[in-house]
Amino acid sequence: MGKYILKRFLMMLVTIFIIATLTFFLMHAVPGSPLESDRNTNETVQANLERFYKLDQPLHIQYLSYMQSIVTFDFGPSIKDPNRTVNELLARGFPISFELGMITILVAVVSGIILGTMAALRHNKMIDYAAMAFAVIGISIPNFVLATVLIQQLAVNWNLFPPATWTSPMHMVLPVLALATGPMAIIARLTRSSMLEVLTQDYIKMARAKGIKPMRIVLRHALRNALMPVVTIMGTLLAGILTGTFVIEKIFAIPGMGKYFVDSINNRDYPVIMGTTVFYSAFLIFMLFLVDIVYGILDPRIKLHKKEGDV
């Protein structure tokens, strides 16, 4: 186990290193200097700015100092707003995005599992059809469309929830709903199909024969095994939700990291793009690493060191 974790940890570092390098060279492949603007700056100012952002150095020196900045976690100042450092933006935006993401995943997992289990227990009955119809619709509607419809109907027409920002629990309802519906639908479908499979197995029949109460069979015996596929796709879902926050934060004007990321793309603010990309990727890759470890702990049948082996 310890050996496997160490190996996965090293793999994680390699992946982060690759994405950091990729980001650096991609950003430097952009034609023109990020300092070019409509204003006619004179040459001294230009030179000073280049020195300030270390753009006058040769590429490999820039690369080394960039790598150093990642290791020491100091991404330097923003180009569009030199009074702010990238670290400040991350410190301000990340807690909000993290909160949005975590509430979303919680809502998606809990309601998805309940929906999927109910559908499986009432197989081919009304609840099953209703839940699966809901799941297919949930997968089909992109989150940004859902977000706009929610704002238009629930916020503007019916005035039930505030349409934007992130200040009170009431403000959280619509963004979380818009972001959670898709993953919830995926989890519900997955839970249903694996639950249906588990329910036909011998040990469930055995438990029934022993006279254990149906509720207890579902919770203690079936659900535990049925949830393994859900754990497997958690990494992908997390990635989806995290990138989904870009759009949701833009639509709901939530001052999270996604908003800074999108702004930095529109402004071509390279230090911010690099900083947020590396930070986002590192966070995501770390979450994938955690999901892998949790999976290994939950299911002892999986031989951890042979995970990527033959099918």
Partner 1 sequence: MTQVRDEWFRPSGNDTDEKEAVVRPSLSYWKDAWRRLKQNKLAMLGLIFLALLAVMAIFGPIFSPHSVTTQDLPNQNQSPSATHWFGTDEAGRDVFTRTWYGARISLFVGLMAALIDFVIGIVYGGIAGYKGGKIDAVMMRIIEILYGLPYLLVVILLLVVMGPSLWTIILALTITGWVGMARIVRGQVLQVKNYEFVTASKSFGAKTPRIIRKNLIPNSMGPIIVQMTLTVPSAIFAEAFLSFLGLGIQAPFASWGVMANDALPVIITGDWWRLFFPALFISLTMFAFNVLGDGLQDALDPKMRK
Residues ≥6 apart with Cβ < 8 Å to 71: none
The β-bridge partners of 85 are: 77
d(CA 272, CA 265): 9
d(CA 13, CA 68): 15
User: Is 174 within 8 Å of 163 (Cβ atoms)?
Assistant: yes
Binding residues for partner 1, total number by CB under 8 A: 46
Q: Which is nearer to partner 1, 217 or 244 (CB)?
A: 244
Q: Rule CB under 8 A: is residue 95 a binding residue for partner 1?
A: no
Q: Which of 5, 12, 212, 228 binds partner 1 (CB under 8 A)?
A: 12
Q: Which of 47, 136, 160, 219 binds partner 1 (CB under 8 A)?
A: 136
Nearest to 271 by CA among 18, 34, 67: 34
Q: Which is nearer to partner 1, 174 or 285 (CB)?
A: 285
Nearest to 285 by CA among 27, 12, 24: 12
User: Is 157 within 8 Å of 83 (Cβ atoms)?
Assistant: no
* Residues 159-218 within binding reach of partner 1 (CB under 8 A): none
Q: Which is nearer to partner 1, 27 or 49 (CB)?
A: 27
Please choose, out of 24-32, 40-48, 74-82, 123-131, the segment that lies near partner 1 by the rule CB under 8 A: 24-32
DSSP letter at 26? H
Positions that interact with partner 1 (CB under 8 A): 11-12, 14-15, 18-19, 22-23, 26-27, 29-30, 136-137, 139-142, 144-145, 148-149, 151-152, 156, 239, 242-243, 246-247, 250-251, 262, 265-266, 268, 273, 277, 280-281, 284-285, 288, 308, 310-311
